[in-house]
Amino acid sequence: MREARMGRCTAGFGLSLVVTSFLNALILVAKELNGDVMNAFKSAMGHHWVTHGAIVIGMFVVLGLIFSAADAGERFDHDRMLKYILLAVVISGIVVAGFFLPHLRAAG
């Protein structure tokens, strides 16, 4: 039995989730390592987490629409997309945890 392909929007926003998961981890590390980036985020919307969240949510929506328009559903089935999403979330979580773990030891 052949695996059913995903719908256009489901695949598009699934891919967007994969990309924005990595983007979220990248932004977090960049903010923490670069004071200029942190200050720019703080001044943009009052608090660095607000700016961070707005960028990630905005990119999720924009990329989801772009990927949906590109009809990504033709190339993905549900199992493949699930593997990509899980892999992206786990890798992003490891990046964030790996970045903060040494700081937790220093604080404790």
Q: Going residue by residue through the chain (108 aa), what tens digit of pLDDT does each one get? A: 456 778 899 999 999 999 999 999 999 999 999 999 999 999 999 999 999 999 999 999 999 999 999 987 778 889 999 999 999 999 999 999 999 988 776 665
Whole-model pTM: value is 0.86
Find all residues with CB under 8 Å of 27, minimum gap 6, and list them.
Answer: 52, 55, 56
Are 33 and 102 in contact by the 8 Å Cβ rule? The answer is no
Domains identified in the chain, total number:
1
Is 102 a domain residue?
A: yes
Is 38 a domain residue?
A: yes
Is 3 a domain residue?
A: no
Predicted local confidence at residue 51, as pLDDT? 97
Is 80 a domain residue?
A: yes
Is 87 a domain residue?
A: yes
> What tokens does 46 get?
């009052």
- Its domain, for residue 101, covers 8-107
Is 68 a domain residue?
A: yes
